[in-house]
Structure 1
Protein backbone atom coordinates (compact mmCIF):
# COMPACT_ATOMS: atom_id res chain seq x y z
CA UNK A 1 0.00 0.00 0.00
CA UNK A 2 1.32 3.43 -0.95
CA UNK A 3 2.15 5.79 1.91
CA UNK A 4 0.56 9.25 1.53
CA UNK A 5 3.28 11.00 3.54
CA UNK A 6 6.01 9.55 1.33
CA UNK A 7 4.04 10.62 -1.75
CA UNK A 8 4.12 14.18 -0.43
CA UNK A 9 7.90 13.90 0.04
CA UNK A 10 8.20 12.69 -3.55
CA UNK A 11 6.17 15.68 -4.74
CA UNK A 12 8.50 18.04 -2.83
CA UNK A 13 11.57 16.45 -4.42
CA UNK A 14 10.10 16.72 -7.93
CA UNK A 15 9.03 20.33 -7.34
CA UNK A 16 12.43 21.29 -5.89
CA UNK A 17 14.50 19.46 -8.46
CA UNK A 18 16.95 18.09 -5.88
CA UNK A 19 16.82 15.96 -2.78
CA UNK A 20 18.85 18.56 -0.87
CA UNK A 21 16.42 21.40 -1.65
CA UNK A 22 13.41 19.27 -0.77
CA UNK A 23 15.04 18.23 2.50
CA UNK A 24 15.66 21.86 3.43
CA UNK A 25 12.06 22.75 2.62
CA UNK A 26 10.64 19.82 4.59
CA UNK A 27 13.02 20.14 7.54
CA UNK A 28 14.54 16.68 7.01
CA UNK A 29 18.07 15.56 6.28
CA UNK A 30 18.84 14.64 2.66
CA UNK A 31 19.53 11.04 3.71
CA UNK A 32 16.11 10.80 5.42
CA UNK A 33 14.41 12.05 2.24
CA UNK A 34 16.36 9.56 0.11
CA UNK A 35 15.36 6.73 2.44
CA UNK A 36 11.67 7.65 2.22
CA UNK A 37 11.80 7.81 -1.58
CA UNK A 38 13.51 4.39 -1.65
CA UNK A 39 10.77 2.88 0.51
CA UNK A 40 8.08 4.45 -1.73
CA UNK A 41 9.74 3.00 -4.82
CA UNK A 42 9.66 -0.45 -3.22
CA UNK A 43 5.97 0.03 -2.44
CA UNK A 44 5.27 1.20 -6.01
CA UNK A 45 7.42 -1.51 -7.60
CA UNK A 46 8.83 0.92 -10.20
CA UNK A 47 11.48 3.69 -10.24
CA UNK A 48 10.06 7.12 -9.41
CA UNK A 49 13.11 9.34 -9.96
CA UNK A 50 16.11 9.37 -12.27
CA UNK A 51 19.29 11.34 -11.72
CA UNK A 52 20.14 14.24 -14.09
CA UNK A 53 23.55 15.61 -13.19
CA UNK A 54 23.22 17.12 -9.72
CA UNK A 55 19.44 16.94 -9.70
CA UNK A 56 16.63 14.45 -10.21
CA UNK A 57 13.77 14.11 -12.66
CA UNK A 58 10.49 12.27 -12.24
CA UNK A 59 9.74 9.13 -14.17
CA UNK A 60 6.27 8.62 -15.61
CA UNK A 61 5.30 6.76 -12.40
CA UNK A 62 6.86 9.52 -10.32
CA UNK A 63 4.83 12.20 -12.13
CA UNK A 64 1.67 10.14 -11.66
CA UNK A 65 2.17 9.77 -7.91
CA UNK A 66 3.17 13.46 -7.58
CA UNK A 67 -0.07 14.54 -9.29
CA UNK A 68 -2.12 12.34 -6.99
CA UNK A 69 -0.24 13.69 -3.97
CA UNK A 70 -1.25 17.18 -5.12
CA UNK A 71 -4.89 16.13 -5.36
CA UNK A 72 -4.69 14.65 -1.87
CA UNK A 73 -3.20 17.89 -0.54
CA UNK A 74 -5.98 19.92 -2.14
CA UNK A 75 -8.56 17.51 -0.73
CA UNK A 76 -7.14 17.82 2.77
CA UNK A 77 -7.06 21.61 2.47
CA UNK A 78 -10.69 21.63 1.32
CA UNK A 79 -11.64 19.35 4.21
CA UNK A 80 -9.88 21.63 6.69
CA UNK A 81 -11.69 24.67 5.28
CA UNK A 82 -15.05 22.88 5.42
CA UNK A 83 -14.38 21.79 9.00
CA UNK A 84 -13.44 25.33 10.00
CA UNK A 85 -16.66 26.64 8.43
CA UNK A 86 -18.69 24.04 10.30
CA UNK A 87 -17.00 24.78 13.62
CA UNK A 88 -17.56 28.50 13.13
CA UNK A 89 -21.24 28.00 12.29
CA UNK A 90 -20.90 29.21 8.70
CA UNK A 91 -22.17 25.88 7.34
CA UNK A 92 -23.84 22.73 8.65
CA UNK A 93 -27.34 21.45 9.22
CA UNK A 94 -29.73 21.52 12.16
CA UNK A 95 -32.63 19.10 12.52
CA UNK A 96 -35.52 20.52 14.53
CA UNK A 97 -38.80 18.98 15.65
CA UNK A 98 -41.67 21.10 16.94
CA UNK A 99 -45.37 20.91 17.81
CA UNK A 100 -48.12 22.88 16.08
CA UNK A 101 -48.76 25.85 18.37
CA UNK A 102 -45.03 26.44 18.89
CA UNK A 103 -44.51 26.85 15.15
CA UNK A 104 -45.77 30.37 14.47
CA UNK A 105 -45.36 31.69 18.01
CA UNK A 106 -41.84 30.51 18.87
CA UNK A 107 -40.04 28.54 16.17
CA UNK A 108 -40.61 30.84 13.18
CA UNK A 109 -39.22 34.02 14.82
CA UNK A 110 -36.27 32.10 16.28
CA UNK A 111 -35.41 30.59 12.89
CA UNK A 112 -35.68 33.99 11.19
CA UNK A 113 -33.08 35.31 13.63
CA UNK A 114 -30.90 32.22 13.15
CA UNK A 115 -30.95 32.64 9.38
CA UNK A 116 -29.72 36.19 9.76
CA UNK A 117 -26.86 35.12 12.03
CA UNK A 118 -25.94 31.84 10.27
CA UNK A 119 -27.21 32.08 6.67
CA UNK A 120 -25.16 29.09 5.48
CA UNK A 121 -26.75 26.59 7.89
CA UNK A 122 -29.41 24.32 6.42
CA UNK A 123 -32.54 23.69 8.48
CA UNK A 124 -34.38 20.36 8.58
CA UNK A 125 -37.70 21.34 10.18
CA UNK A 126 -40.44 18.81 10.86
CA UNK A 127 -43.79 19.02 12.64
CA UNK A 128 -44.20 16.22 15.20
CA UNK A 129 -47.10 16.66 17.60
CA UNK A 130 -46.36 13.47 19.54
CA UNK A 131 -43.83 14.31 22.32
CA UNK A 132 -42.73 10.69 22.60
CA UNK A 133 -41.89 10.57 18.90
CA UNK A 134 -40.03 13.89 19.08
CA UNK A 135 -37.92 12.69 22.00
CA UNK A 136 -37.15 9.48 20.16
CA UNK A 137 -35.85 11.55 17.22
CA UNK A 138 -33.41 13.36 19.52
CA UNK A 139 -32.36 10.23 21.39
CA UNK A 140 -31.80 8.39 18.13
CA UNK A 141 -29.63 11.17 16.72
CA UNK A 142 -32.13 12.06 13.96
CA UNK A 143 -32.83 15.51 15.45
CA UNK A 144 -30.64 18.04 17.23
CA UNK A 145 -33.46 19.65 19.22
CA UNK A 146 -37.16 19.03 19.76
CA UNK A 147 -39.80 21.21 21.40
CA UNK A 148 -42.23 19.09 23.40
CA UNK A 149 -45.19 19.66 25.70
CA UNK A 150 -45.26 18.06 29.14
CA UNK A 151 -42.53 16.93 31.49
CA UNK A 152 -40.45 14.35 29.56
CA UNK A 153 -39.15 12.86 32.84
CA UNK A 154 -35.52 12.08 33.48
CA UNK A 155 -33.36 12.67 30.41
CA UNK A 156 -31.48 9.80 28.89
CA UNK A 157 -27.73 9.87 28.44
CA UNK A 158 -26.76 12.29 25.70
CA UNK A 159 -29.98 14.35 25.94
CA UNK A 160 -30.36 17.62 27.83
CA UNK A 161 -33.79 18.92 28.84
CA UNK A 162 -34.46 22.62 29.23
CA UNK A 163 -37.74 24.07 30.43
CA UNK A 164 -38.49 26.89 28.02
CA UNK A 165 -41.76 28.28 29.31
CA UNK A 166 -45.01 27.69 31.17
CA UNK A 167 -47.93 28.19 28.81
CA UNK A 168 -51.19 29.09 30.62
CA UNK A 169 -54.62 28.37 29.17
CA UNK A 170 -57.31 31.03 28.69
CA UNK A 171 -61.05 30.93 28.04
CA UNK A 172 -62.14 31.58 24.46
CA UNK A 173 -65.72 32.84 24.13
CA UNK A 174 -67.97 34.13 21.35
CA UNK A 175 -67.90 37.93 21.33
CA UNK A 176 -71.59 38.07 22.39
CA UNK A 177 -71.30 35.48 25.18
CA UNK A 178 -72.79 36.59 28.57
CA UNK A 179 -69.42 36.02 30.27
CA UNK A 180 -67.48 38.01 27.66
CA UNK A 181 -67.71 41.20 29.74
CA UNK A 182 -65.90 39.60 32.68
CA UNK A 183 -62.18 40.31 33.10
CA UNK A 184 -61.32 36.95 34.74
CA UNK A 185 -63.37 33.75 34.90
CA UNK A 186 -63.38 30.97 37.44
CA UNK A 187 -62.90 27.71 35.59
CA UNK A 188 -65.98 26.28 37.32
CA UNK A 189 -68.15 28.95 35.65
CA UNK A 190 -67.58 27.15 32.37
CA UNK A 191 -68.69 23.75 33.64
CA UNK A 192 -72.15 23.86 32.09
CA UNK A 193 -71.01 25.18 28.72
CA UNK A 194 -70.62 23.07 25.58
CA UNK A 195 -66.90 22.83 24.89
CA UNK A 196 -64.82 22.83 21.74
CA UNK A 197 -61.73 20.59 21.92
CA UNK A 198 -58.54 21.47 20.06
CA UNK A 199 -56.23 18.74 21.37
CA UNK A 200 -56.14 14.99 21.32
CA UNK A 201 -55.78 13.16 24.64
CA UNK A 202 -52.19 13.44 25.84
CA UNK A 203 -49.73 15.91 27.37
CA UNK A 204 -51.33 18.93 25.66
CA UNK A 205 -54.82 18.18 26.97
CA UNK A 206 -53.93 16.68 30.37
CA UNK A 207 -53.28 19.99 32.20
CA UNK A 208 -56.72 21.25 31.19
CA UNK A 209 -58.50 18.05 32.22
CA UNK A 210 -56.63 18.04 35.55
CA UNK A 211 -57.60 21.65 36.24
CA UNK A 212 -61.25 20.95 35.42
CA UNK A 213 -61.21 17.94 37.74
CA UNK A 214 -59.80 20.14 40.49
CA UNK A 215 -62.67 22.58 39.85
CA UNK A 216 -65.16 19.73 40.25
CA UNK A 217 -66.26 18.89 36.70
CA UNK A 218 -65.33 17.23 33.43
CA UNK A 219 -65.76 19.34 30.27
CA UNK A 220 -68.41 18.28 27.75
CA UNK A 221 -66.60 18.29 24.40
CA UNK A 222 -69.40 18.49 21.88
CA UNK A 223 -67.17 19.62 19.01
CA UNK A 224 -63.63 18.52 18.28
CA UNK A 225 -61.03 20.10 16.03
CA UNK A 226 -57.44 19.32 15.14
CA UNK A 227 -55.94 22.79 15.62
CA UNK A 228 -56.43 25.98 17.59
CA UNK A 229 -57.46 28.23 14.71
CA UNK A 230 -60.26 25.85 13.73
CA UNK A 231 -61.35 25.69 17.37
CA UNK A 232 -61.52 29.48 17.44
CA UNK A 233 -63.68 29.41 14.32
CA UNK A 234 -66.10 26.96 15.98
CA UNK A 235 -66.27 29.21 19.05
CA UNK A 236 -66.90 32.30 16.90
CA UNK A 237 -69.77 30.43 15.20
CA UNK A 238 -71.38 29.84 18.60
CA UNK A 239 -70.80 26.09 18.74
CA UNK A 240 -69.29 26.24 22.22
CA UNK A 241 -66.50 27.73 24.31
CA UNK A 242 -62.89 26.62 24.46
CA UNK A 243 -59.99 26.86 26.87
CA UNK A 244 -56.81 27.08 24.83
CA UNK A 245 -53.10 27.54 25.58
CA UNK A 246 -51.67 31.00 25.07
CA UNK A 247 -49.35 29.83 22.27
CA UNK A 248 -52.43 28.74 20.34
CA UNK A 249 -53.87 32.25 20.59
CA UNK A 250 -51.05 34.23 18.98
CA UNK A 251 -53.28 34.58 15.90
CA UNK A 252 -56.87 35.29 16.95
CA UNK A 253 -60.21 35.06 15.21
CA UNK A 254 -61.84 38.52 15.09
CA UNK A 255 -65.16 37.31 16.55
CA UNK A 256 -63.92 35.86 19.83
CA UNK A 257 -62.84 37.24 23.18
CA UNK A 258 -60.12 35.74 25.36
CA UNK A 259 -60.28 35.86 29.14
CA UNK A 260 -57.91 34.53 31.81
CA UNK A 261 -59.21 31.70 33.97
CA UNK A 262 -58.47 30.96 37.61
CA UNK A 263 -59.22 28.57 40.46
CA UNK A 264 -57.26 26.83 39.07
CA UNK A 265 -55.46 28.18 36.02
CA UNK A 266 -54.44 25.33 33.68
CA UNK A 267 -50.80 25.54 32.63
CA UNK A 268 -48.74 23.32 30.35
CA UNK A 269 -44.95 23.22 30.31
CA UNK A 270 -42.87 23.41 27.15
CA UNK A 271 -39.42 21.82 27.08
CA UNK A 272 -36.53 21.74 24.65
CA UNK A 273 -34.92 18.31 24.33
CA UNK A 274 -31.37 18.88 23.09
CA UNK A 275 -28.86 16.39 21.73
CA UNK A 276 -25.83 17.24 23.84
CA UNK A 277 -23.20 16.38 21.23
CA UNK A 278 -24.87 18.86 18.86
CA UNK A 279 -24.08 21.71 21.25
CA UNK A 280 -20.63 21.75 19.65
CA UNK A 281 -22.33 23.49 16.71
CA UNK A 282 -22.43 27.29 17.17
CA UNK A 283 -25.64 27.39 15.13
CA UNK A 284 -27.47 25.23 17.69
CA UNK A 285 -26.27 27.43 20.54
CA UNK A 286 -27.53 30.45 18.58
CA UNK A 287 -30.89 28.76 17.98
CA UNK A 288 -31.35 28.00 21.67
CA UNK A 289 -30.54 31.62 22.53
CA UNK A 290 -33.10 32.79 19.98
CA UNK A 291 -35.73 30.43 21.41
CA UNK A 292 -35.08 31.64 24.97
CA UNK A 293 -35.28 35.27 23.91
CA UNK A 294 -38.50 34.66 22.03
CA UNK A 295 -40.30 32.98 24.92
CA UNK A 296 -39.05 35.71 27.25
CA UNK A 297 -40.71 38.31 25.02
CA UNK A 298 -43.87 36.25 25.15
CA UNK A 299 -43.72 36.39 28.92
CA UNK A 300 -42.64 32.77 29.44
Structure 2
Protein backbone atom coordinates (compact mmCIF):
# COMPACT_ATOMS: atom_id res chain seq x y z
CA UNK A 1 0.00 0.00 0.00
CA UNK A 2 1.33 3.44 -0.90
CA UNK A 3 2.36 5.69 1.97
CA UNK A 4 0.10 8.75 1.77
CA UNK A 5 2.46 10.88 3.88
CA UNK A 6 5.35 10.17 1.50
CA UNK A 7 3.10 11.05 -1.45
CA UNK A 8 2.51 14.47 0.10
CA UNK A 9 6.28 14.93 0.49
CA UNK A 10 6.67 14.12 -3.22
CA UNK A 11 3.95 16.65 -4.01
CA UNK A 12 5.81 19.31 -2.03
CA UNK A 13 9.04 18.58 -3.95
CA UNK A 14 7.30 18.75 -7.33
CA UNK A 15 5.43 21.97 -6.50
CA UNK A 16 8.57 23.70 -5.17
CA UNK A 17 10.96 22.34 -7.83
CA UNK A 18 13.69 21.15 -5.48
CA UNK A 19 14.34 18.94 -2.45
CA UNK A 20 15.85 21.84 -0.52
CA UNK A 21 12.87 24.15 -1.05
CA UNK A 22 10.43 21.37 -0.13
CA UNK A 23 12.41 20.65 3.04
CA UNK A 24 12.20 24.32 4.02
CA UNK A 25 8.44 24.44 3.39
CA UNK A 26 7.81 21.21 5.29
CA UNK A 27 10.15 21.95 8.17
CA UNK A 28 12.29 18.87 7.39
CA UNK A 29 15.95 18.48 6.57
CA UNK A 30 16.84 17.89 2.89
CA UNK A 31 18.18 14.48 3.91
CA UNK A 32 14.86 13.50 5.47
CA UNK A 33 12.98 14.54 2.34
CA UNK A 34 15.35 12.56 0.12
CA UNK A 35 14.87 9.51 2.34
CA UNK A 36 11.07 9.78 2.05
CA UNK A 37 11.27 10.02 -1.75
CA UNK A 38 13.67 7.07 -1.92
CA UNK A 39 11.37 4.95 0.23
CA UNK A 40 8.38 5.84 -1.97
CA UNK A 41 10.36 4.91 -5.10
CA UNK A 42 11.09 1.50 -3.57
CA UNK A 43 7.34 1.04 -2.96
CA UNK A 44 6.47 2.07 -6.51
CA UNK A 45 9.37 0.29 -8.22
CA UNK A 46 9.92 3.27 -10.52
CA UNK A 47 11.94 6.50 -10.36
CA UNK A 48 9.79 9.46 -9.39
CA UNK A 49 12.16 12.40 -9.88
CA UNK A 50 14.96 13.30 -12.26
CA UNK A 51 17.54 16.02 -11.91
CA UNK A 52 17.29 19.16 -14.05
CA UNK A 53 20.11 21.60 -13.36
CA UNK A 54 19.97 22.43 -9.64
CA UNK A 55 16.43 21.24 -9.31
CA UNK A 56 14.29 18.20 -10.02
CA UNK A 57 11.26 17.40 -12.10
CA UNK A 58 8.83 14.48 -11.86
CA UNK A 59 8.94 11.45 -14.06
CA UNK A 60 5.67 10.11 -15.52
CA UNK A 61 5.21 8.04 -12.34
CA UNK A 62 6.07 11.11 -10.27
CA UNK A 63 3.40 13.18 -12.04
CA UNK A 64 0.85 10.44 -11.53
CA UNK A 65 1.47 10.19 -7.80
CA UNK A 66 1.59 13.96 -7.43
CA UNK A 67 -1.84 14.34 -9.03
CA UNK A 68 -3.30 11.67 -6.78
CA UNK A 69 -1.62 13.23 -3.74
CA UNK A 70 -3.39 16.51 -4.58
CA UNK A 71 -6.74 14.68 -4.78
CA UNK A 72 -6.06 12.98 -1.45
CA UNK A 73 -5.15 16.30 0.17
CA UNK A 74 -8.40 17.81 -1.15
CA UNK A 75 -10.51 15.00 0.34
CA UNK A 76 -8.64 15.15 3.65
CA UNK A 77 -9.29 18.90 3.85
CA UNK A 78 -12.97 18.33 3.09
CA UNK A 79 -13.16 15.62 5.76
CA UNK A 80 -11.54 17.92 8.31
CA UNK A 81 -14.03 20.67 7.47
CA UNK A 82 -16.94 18.23 7.74
CA UNK A 83 -15.71 17.00 11.11
CA UNK A 84 -15.30 20.56 12.34
CA UNK A 85 -18.87 21.33 11.24
CA UNK A 86 -20.13 18.21 13.00
CA UNK A 87 -18.27 19.07 16.21
CA UNK A 88 -19.68 22.60 16.12
CA UNK A 89 -23.20 21.34 15.49
CA UNK A 90 -23.46 22.88 12.02
CA UNK A 91 -24.25 19.52 10.38
CA UNK A 92 -25.45 16.05 11.37
CA UNK A 93 -28.74 14.38 12.22
CA UNK A 94 -30.95 14.51 15.31
CA UNK A 95 -33.55 11.77 15.81
CA UNK A 96 -36.45 13.01 17.96
CA UNK A 97 -39.32 10.94 19.33
CA UNK A 98 -42.42 12.33 21.00
CA UNK A 99 -46.03 11.66 22.00
CA UNK A 100 -48.96 13.43 20.39
CA UNK A 101 -49.79 16.32 22.72
CA UNK A 102 -46.12 17.17 23.25
CA UNK A 103 -45.62 17.03 19.50
CA UNK A 104 -48.38 19.55 18.93
CA UNK A 105 -47.54 21.97 21.74
CA UNK A 106 -43.77 21.76 22.28
CA UNK A 107 -41.94 20.33 19.28
CA UNK A 108 -42.95 22.72 16.44
CA UNK A 109 -42.14 26.03 18.19
CA UNK A 110 -38.97 24.59 19.72
CA UNK A 111 -37.73 23.35 16.32
CA UNK A 112 -38.51 26.70 14.71
CA UNK A 113 -36.46 28.48 17.38
CA UNK A 114 -33.63 25.93 17.18
CA UNK A 115 -33.50 25.88 13.37
CA UNK A 116 -32.37 29.51 13.25
CA UNK A 117 -29.13 28.49 15.01
CA UNK A 118 -28.60 25.06 13.43
CA UNK A 119 -29.90 25.28 9.84
CA UNK A 120 -27.59 22.56 8.53
CA UNK A 121 -28.63 19.81 10.95
CA UNK A 122 -31.20 17.34 9.66
CA UNK A 123 -34.08 16.23 11.90
CA UNK A 124 -35.72 12.81 12.03
CA UNK A 125 -39.11 13.30 13.74
CA UNK A 126 -41.28 10.34 14.71
CA UNK A 127 -44.51 10.12 16.68
CA UNK A 128 -44.60 7.27 19.22
CA UNK A 129 -48.17 7.21 20.46
CA UNK A 130 -49.59 5.04 21.92
CA UNK A 131 -46.45 3.70 23.45
CA UNK A 132 -43.38 5.03 25.21
CA UNK A 133 -40.69 6.89 23.19
CA UNK A 134 -38.04 6.39 25.92
CA UNK A 135 -36.86 2.90 24.82
CA UNK A 136 -35.70 4.30 21.48
CA UNK A 137 -33.25 6.56 23.30
CA UNK A 138 -32.12 3.67 25.51
CA UNK A 139 -31.48 1.53 22.40
CA UNK A 140 -29.63 4.34 20.65
CA UNK A 141 -32.28 4.69 17.94
CA UNK A 142 -33.11 8.27 18.95
CA UNK A 143 -31.16 11.19 20.34
CA UNK A 144 -34.04 12.75 22.29
CA UNK A 145 -37.49 11.63 23.40
CA UNK A 146 -40.19 13.68 25.06
CA UNK A 147 -41.75 11.52 27.76
CA UNK A 148 -44.09 11.59 30.73
CA UNK A 149 -42.25 10.92 34.00
CA UNK A 150 -41.44 7.18 33.95
CA UNK A 151 -42.48 4.86 36.77
CA UNK A 152 -38.92 3.67 37.34
CA UNK A 153 -35.50 5.25 37.30
CA UNK A 154 -34.18 5.52 33.72
CA UNK A 155 -31.46 3.17 32.52
CA UNK A 156 -27.85 4.01 33.25
CA UNK A 157 -26.54 6.69 30.93
CA UNK A 158 -29.96 8.27 30.36
CA UNK A 159 -30.71 11.74 31.70
CA UNK A 160 -34.19 13.18 32.18
CA UNK A 161 -34.36 16.95 31.66
CA UNK A 162 -37.50 18.46 33.19
CA UNK A 163 -39.49 20.59 30.76
CA UNK A 164 -42.79 21.36 32.48
CA UNK A 165 -45.55 20.13 34.78
CA UNK A 166 -48.84 19.68 32.94
CA UNK A 167 -51.85 19.72 35.33
CA UNK A 168 -55.08 17.94 34.50
CA UNK A 169 -58.34 19.90 34.26
CA UNK A 170 -61.93 18.86 34.73
CA UNK A 171 -63.81 18.83 31.41
CA UNK A 172 -67.58 19.14 31.89
CA UNK A 173 -70.58 19.48 29.59
CA UNK A 174 -72.11 22.94 29.44
CA UNK A 175 -74.85 23.34 32.02
CA UNK A 176 -73.38 20.73 34.38
CA UNK A 177 -73.82 21.76 38.07
CA UNK A 178 -70.06 21.64 38.69
CA UNK A 179 -69.47 24.38 36.10
CA UNK A 180 -70.75 26.84 38.71
CA UNK A 181 -67.47 26.34 40.58
CA UNK A 182 -64.24 28.06 39.54
CA UNK A 183 -62.21 25.17 40.99
CA UNK A 184 -63.60 21.63 41.27
CA UNK A 185 -62.68 19.30 44.12
CA UNK A 186 -61.80 15.97 42.54
CA UNK A 187 -64.08 14.16 44.98
CA UNK A 188 -67.04 16.13 43.55
CA UNK A 189 -66.66 14.05 40.37
CA UNK A 190 -66.78 10.71 42.20
CA UNK A 191 -70.42 9.86 41.39
CA UNK A 192 -70.33 11.07 37.80
CA UNK A 193 -70.16 8.85 34.71
CA UNK A 194 -66.69 9.18 33.19
CA UNK A 195 -65.25 9.30 29.69
CA UNK A 196 -61.89 7.52 29.45
CA UNK A 197 -59.32 9.25 27.25
CA UNK A 198 -56.01 7.65 28.21
CA UNK A 199 -54.31 4.48 27.01
CA UNK A 200 -55.29 1.64 29.33
CA UNK A 201 -52.34 0.81 31.56
CA UNK A 202 -50.38 3.82 30.32
CA UNK A 203 -48.49 6.24 32.52
CA UNK A 204 -51.00 9.08 32.04
CA UNK A 205 -53.95 6.91 33.02
CA UNK A 206 -51.98 5.71 36.04
CA UNK A 207 -51.43 9.28 37.20
CA UNK A 208 -55.11 10.12 36.77
CA UNK A 209 -56.35 7.00 38.59
CA UNK A 210 -53.86 7.57 41.40
CA UNK A 211 -55.23 11.08 41.95
CA UNK A 212 -58.80 9.76 41.99
CA UNK A 213 -57.80 7.09 44.50
CA UNK A 214 -56.31 9.80 46.72
CA UNK A 215 -59.70 11.55 46.54
CA UNK A 216 -61.37 8.33 47.68
CA UNK A 217 -62.93 6.86 44.51
CA UNK A 218 -62.40 4.95 41.29
CA UNK A 219 -63.89 6.56 38.16
CA UNK A 220 -66.87 4.82 36.59
CA UNK A 221 -65.83 4.76 32.93
CA UNK A 222 -68.86 4.24 30.74
CA UNK A 223 -67.26 5.04 27.41
CA UNK A 224 -63.72 5.02 26.05
CA UNK A 225 -62.01 7.25 23.47
CA UNK A 226 -58.63 7.17 21.77
CA UNK A 227 -57.77 10.86 22.01
CA UNK A 228 -58.55 14.08 23.83
CA UNK A 229 -60.53 15.63 20.97
CA UNK A 230 -62.92 12.67 20.83
CA UNK A 231 -63.21 12.67 24.62
CA UNK A 232 -64.27 16.33 24.54
CA UNK A 233 -66.92 15.47 21.96
CA UNK A 234 -68.27 12.70 24.17
CA UNK A 235 -68.36 15.05 27.16
CA UNK A 236 -70.06 17.73 25.06
CA UNK A 237 -72.74 15.15 24.17
CA UNK A 238 -73.47 14.71 27.87
CA UNK A 239 -72.12 11.17 28.17
CA UNK A 240 -69.87 11.93 31.12
CA UNK A 241 -67.05 14.00 32.57
CA UNK A 242 -63.32 13.57 32.26
CA UNK A 243 -59.87 14.92 33.12
CA UNK A 244 -57.57 16.19 30.36
CA UNK A 245 -54.07 17.68 30.80
CA UNK A 246 -53.50 21.28 29.78
CA UNK A 247 -51.46 20.40 26.68
CA UNK A 248 -54.38 18.31 25.47
CA UNK A 249 -56.76 21.26 25.57
CA UNK A 250 -55.24 23.33 22.78
CA UNK A 251 -58.39 22.78 20.70
CA UNK A 252 -61.42 23.18 22.99
CA UNK A 253 -64.84 21.90 22.05
CA UNK A 254 -67.33 24.81 22.18
CA UNK A 255 -69.82 22.74 24.20
CA UNK A 256 -67.54 21.89 27.13
CA UNK A 257 -66.44 23.86 30.18
CA UNK A 258 -62.94 23.47 31.64
CA UNK A 259 -62.22 23.94 35.33
CA UNK A 260 -59.16 23.62 37.53
CA UNK A 261 -59.04 20.62 39.86
CA UNK A 262 -57.83 20.38 43.45
CA UNK A 263 -57.58 17.96 46.41
CA UNK A 264 -55.54 16.63 44.69
CA UNK A 265 -54.62 18.26 41.41
CA UNK A 266 -53.39 15.51 39.03
CA UNK A 267 -50.18 16.57 37.27
CA UNK A 268 -48.07 14.82 34.69
CA UNK A 269 -44.43 15.90 34.53
CA UNK A 270 -42.93 16.03 31.05
CA UNK A 271 -39.24 15.44 30.41
CA UNK A 272 -36.76 15.28 27.57
CA UNK A 273 -34.83 12.02 27.75
CA UNK A 274 -31.30 12.04 26.29
CA UNK A 275 -28.17 9.94 26.53
CA UNK A 276 -25.49 11.40 28.79
CA UNK A 277 -22.88 10.92 26.07
CA UNK A 278 -24.90 13.09 23.65
CA UNK A 279 -25.14 16.17 25.85
CA UNK A 280 -21.84 17.54 24.54
CA UNK A 281 -23.30 17.83 21.01
CA UNK A 282 -24.05 21.52 20.41
CA UNK A 283 -27.14 20.79 18.28
CA UNK A 284 -28.70 18.57 20.95
CA UNK A 285 -27.88 21.02 23.73
CA UNK A 286 -29.41 23.80 21.62
CA UNK A 287 -32.61 21.80 21.11
CA UNK A 288 -32.89 21.18 24.85
CA UNK A 289 -32.56 24.93 25.46
CA UNK A 290 -35.27 25.64 22.86
CA UNK A 291 -37.61 23.05 24.42
CA UNK A 292 -37.11 24.56 27.87
CA UNK A 293 -37.77 28.07 26.54
CA UNK A 294 -41.01 26.96 24.87
CA UNK A 295 -42.10 24.99 27.95
CA UNK A 296 -41.51 28.06 30.15
CA UNK A 297 -43.74 30.14 27.90
Q: TM-score range by the shorter chain?
A: over 0.9
Tell me what 2:250 maps to: 250
Give the TM-score, by structure 1 length.
0.94
Q: Is the 8 A contact 1:150 1:204 kept in 2?
A: no
**2:103 counterpart of 1:121:** no
CA distance in 2, matches of 1:75, 1:30: 28
CA distance in 1, matches of 2:284, 2:130: 22
Tell me what 1:289 maps to: 289
Tell me what 2:136 maps to: 137
Distance 1:154 1:42, change over 3 A: same
Q: Is the 8 A contact 2:101 2:248 kept in 1?
A: yes
CA distance in 1, matches of 2:239, 2:143: 41
Give the TM-score, by structure 2 length.
0.94
Post-superposition shift, 1:10? Answer: 0.4
Structure 2 residue matching 1:280: 3-state secondary structure: coil
Listed as ranges, the matches of 1:195-234 within 5 Å are: 195-200=194-199, 201-234=201-234
Instruction: Tell me how many residue pairs correspond in the alignment.
Output: 296
1:113-146 deviations in Å (ceiling 9; x for gaps) = 11122111111111113665x2221122211111
| Range with bigger deviation, 24-33 or 235-244 | 235-244
Q: Is the 8 A contact 2:151 2:203 kept in 1?
A: no
CA distance in 1, matches of 2:282, 2:257: 42
Where in structure 1 are there 5+ consecutive unaligned residues?
none
| Range with bigger deviation, 274-283 or 203-212 | 274-283
Tell me what 1:183 maps to: 182
> RMSD between aligned alpha carbons?
1.5
Structure 2 residue matching 1:205: 3-state secondary structure: helix
Which aligned segments of 4 or more residues in structure 1 are displaced greater than 4 angstroms? Answer: none
Tell me what 2:6 maps to: 6
CA distance in 1, matches of 2:196, 2:295: 25
Tell me what 1:43 maps to: 43
CA distance in 2, matches of 1:217, 1:294: 36
Q: Is the 8 A contact 2:110 2:291 kept in 1?
A: yes
Distance 1:237 1:130, change over 3 A: closer
Tell me what 2:150 maps to: 151
Tell me what 2:96 maps to: 96
Post-superposition shift, 1:87? Answer: 2.2
Structure 1 residue matching 2:240: 3-state secondary structure: coil
Structure 2 residue matching 1:84: 3-state secondary structure: helix
Post-superposition shift, 1:54? Answer: 1.9
Tell me what 1:71 maps to: 71
Tell me what 1:33 maps to: 33
CA distance in 2, matches of 1:251, 1:88: 39
CA distance in 1, matches of 2:151, 2:52: 75
Tell me what 2:80 maps to: 80
1:177-216 deviations in Å (ceiling 9; x for gaps) = 2222211111121122221111112111101101111222
1:49-98 deviations in Å (ceiling 9; x for gaps) = 12222221212221111111111111111111112222222222111111
CA distance in 2, matches of 1:187, 1:152: 23
Where in structure 2 are there 5+ consecutive unaligned residues?
none
CA distance in 1, matches of 2:142, 2:151: 16
Listed as ranges, the matches of 1:159-178 within 5 Å are: 159-178=158-177
Q: Is the 8 A contact 1:17 1:57 kept in 2?
A: yes
